[in-house]
A and B are shown apart, each in its own frame.
Chain A
Amino acid sequence: MEGETLVRVRNLRTYLYANGRCNKAVNDVSFDVRAGRTLCVVGESGCGKSVTAASIMQLLPPLARIESGEIAYRSAEGELRLDRLPRNGRAMRSLRGRDLGMIFQDPMTALNPVYSIGFQIRESLRYHTRLGAPARRAKAIELLADMGIPLPAQRSGEYPHQLSGGMRQRAMIAMAMACEPKVLIADEPTTALDVTVQAQVFDLMERLKRERGTAIMLITHDMGVVAELADEVVVMYMGNVVESGTVREVLKSPAHPYTRALLGSIPLLGRGRSQRLEPIRGSTPDPFDRPPGCQFAPRCPRQEPACDAGLPPEVEVSAAHRVRCLFAKEGRDGR
Chain B
Amino acid sequence: MAAEAPLVSIRGLELGYPVRSGLFKRVVGSVRAVAGVDLDIRRGETLGLVGESGCGKTSLGKAMLQLERPTGGEVLLDCGGARRDLCRMRQGELREARRRMQIVFQDPYSSLNPAFTIYGSLEDAMRRYGLATRAERRRRLGELLEAVNMRPEHMDRYPSEFSGGQRQRIGIARALSADPELVVCDEAVSALDVSIRAQVLNLLLKLKAERGLTYLFISHDLSVVEYVSDRIAVMYLGRIVELAGTEELYSNPLHPYTRALLSAIPIADPDRARRRIVLEGDVPSPVDPPPGCPFHPRCPDRVEECSRVPPALRTHMIKGEAHAAACHLAKE
Contact = CB atoms under 8 A, between A and B. Distances in A.
B221 to A, nearest CB: 9
Interface in A164-185: 164-167
Interface residues of B, number: 45
B30 interface: no
B210 interface: no
Main secondary structure of the interface of A (DSSP, over half): helix
Contacts of B199: 279-280
A224 B266 contact: yes
B232 to A, nearest CB: 11
A196 B264 contact: yes
Nearest to A195: B264
Query: Binding site of B, secondary structure by majority: helix, strand, loop or mixed?
Result: helix
Interface in A248-290: 248, 251-252, 261-263, 265-273, 275, 277-280, 283-284
A247 B250 CA distance: 26
A196 B261 contact: yes
A266 B264 contact: no
A80 interface: no
Interface in B121-141: none
Interface in A214-268: 221-229, 247-248, 251-252, 261-263, 265-268
Given A223-B194, A252-B271, 10 more contacts: A150-B281, A166-B282, A199-B278, A224-B268, A265-B194, A265-B198, A269-B226, A279-B195, A279-B196, A283-B163
Contact of A221 (B166, B194, B278): B194
B198 A279 contact: yes
A200 interface: yes
Contacts of A225: 266
A45 interface: yes
A330 interface: no
Interface in B193-238: 193-199, 201-202, 220, 222-224, 226-228
A228 B194 contact: no
A248 B271 CA distance: 8
A269 B265 contact: yes
B269 A227 contact: yes
Interface string A152-174: 00000000000011110000000
B268 A283 contact: no
B235 to A, nearest CB: 12
Given A44-B193, A279-B195, A279-B198, A273 B227 contact: yes
B194 A195 contact: no
A196 B262 CA distance: 9
B160 interface: no
Nearest to B195: A280
A277 B198 CA distance: 6
Given A196-B279, A251-B270, A266-B268, A272 B196 contact: no
